[in-house]
Structure 1
Amino acid sequence: MPPNRQSTEPATTASAPVAKNRRGLETRERVLAVTRGLISAHGYAEVTLDQISAEAGVAKSSLLWHFGSKEMLLAEAATSLFRQIGEELGAEPQHGRTAARRLENSFDRVAGYLSANPEAKGVVLALLFSGSVPASVREEIRRSWDSHVHDLVAALSAPGRPLPAPMARLMIATIHGCYCHWYASDRSEPIAAFLAPARELFGDWLRERDRER
């Protein structure tokens, strides 16, 4: 007796968009990883769509379809690094760990990412202040920074002691300033040394806040 085709075709049809969507996400992640590597190896100004296309094995037309422009691709590649930090902070178990300790962990991650990808934050700042960059790119950067604020508030709030959003924005601005100072130097010292005063300052503030409970 022939198999009941009616029972198999809907499942096959339904799975096709899922598989296509998964392949699309995998392509995006591969392109972002390749772009981050090229930025680290050659610097932001030297990276071209031709290089990204060749390294990732993706046609330039597909790159533009996925990201819209080279600038948007570079912005997503750079901001995706710091999105990972936020995701890790959210996944970190908070039971038994003080907010000050979670802050130290976040500074460790920031130092690690910037050491491995020194151009990443520079790409974001260069795109942000470039007059030729489309407004959509600056909007992507703004959304990314708003997400950082949300992640810090969620990670560093204590019961009955929410972290004020302006304090989270100040932390992020201070990290940007430390990065610029480090990048403008000869980078012979680890970036952790430039971040250390901010780490101590905000850690002391959090410990004092928690003692006041």
Structure 2
Amino acid sequence: MSASAPPSAPPAAQKNRRGLETRQRVLAVTRDLIRAHGYADVTLDQISGSAGVAKSSLLWHFGSKEMLLAEAATSLFKQIGQETAPQVRAGETPARRLDRVFEQVAQAFAANPEAKGVVLGMLFSGSVPASVRAEIRRGWDSHVQALVDAFSLPQRPMPAPMARLMLATFQGCYCHWYAGGCSEPIATFLEPARELFRMWLESAAA
């Protein structure tokens, strides 16, 4: 008697999975186009053609071009948070996790030199829809919480203001790096900040 085939996923689950895969593909394509052309010159037609997704579907998934660009940029925050989550890096010391966060941030900035700029530009632009700025703020708050979770110690949780300071340091280093024409490795700008936070972690563990 032959073994029966495993039951297939319910149609609703398959649809949800396809929808998620489409979103991830569109975000990846959008980041690639941004790297190639810059944020200002990326169009929905380009994204639609490269991702193989109808423009109407892009608008259905993301609502607007601005929201799509915002999510493509803030998805870098989410990626860093996922890769440094305590449950993912169980067994690592806080100091090693700190190194990993700074490495991931440096790689993200180097691979997407304009991504941080567009996030800041959208956040402070009065012409960007309020819903888009709200989405960026949600991504920002989530990134702060990811840092709190990554570096909290059992005896001393990382205060949210310290996580915000770390995030502000990332932005400041980025601005100096980008203003200098990205001529030096971003890690060079981030290294003094990493040393400061490493000293904080050591004092917290003492």
Verify same fold: TM over 0.5.
Answer: yes
Give the match for residue 150 of structure 2.
155
Give the match for residue 101 of structure 2.
106
Give the match for residue 121 of structure 1.
116
Q: CA RMSD in A?
A: 1.4
**1:196 pairs with 183, 191, 195, which one?**
191
Give the match for residue 19 of structure 1.
14
TM-score of the two chains, using structure 1 as the length reference: 0.89
Paired with 1:20 and 1:89, the residues of 2 have a C-alpha distance of: 30
Letter in 2 for 1:152: L
Larger mean CA deviation between 163-172 and 17-26 belongs to 17-26
Work out the number of aligned pairs and report it: 199
Secondary structure class of the residue paired with 1:199? helix
Paired with 1:40 and 1:123, the residues of 2 have a C-alpha distance of: 12
1:172 partnered with 2:167: yes
Percent of counterpart pairs with the same letter?
Answer: 70
Structure 1: 5+ residue stretches without partners: 1-10
C-alpha distance after superposition, 1:96-142 (max 9, x if no partner): x3322211110011101111111111121111111111111111111
Secondary structure class of the residue paired with 1:160? coil
| 4+ long deviations beyond 6 Å | none
Letter in 2 for 1:93: R
**2:141 pairs with 140, 146, 149, which one?**
146
| Rg (Cα) greater in structure | 1
1:94 partnered with 2:90: yes
More helix by share: 1
TM-score of the two chains, using structure 2 as the length reference: 0.92
C-alpha distance after superposition, 1:144-168 (max 9, x if no partner): 1111111111110111110000000
Paired with 2:119 and 2:41, the residues of 1 have a C-alpha distance of: 15
**1:187 pairs with 174, 182, 192, which one?**
182
Structure 2: 5+ residue stretches without partners: 1-6
Give the match for residue 44 of structure 1.
39
**1:82 pairs with 77, 80, 92, which one?**
77
Paired with 1:162 and 1:100, the residues of 2 have a C-alpha distance of: 15
Letter in 2 for 1:183: Y
Secondary structure class of the residue paired with 1:34? helix
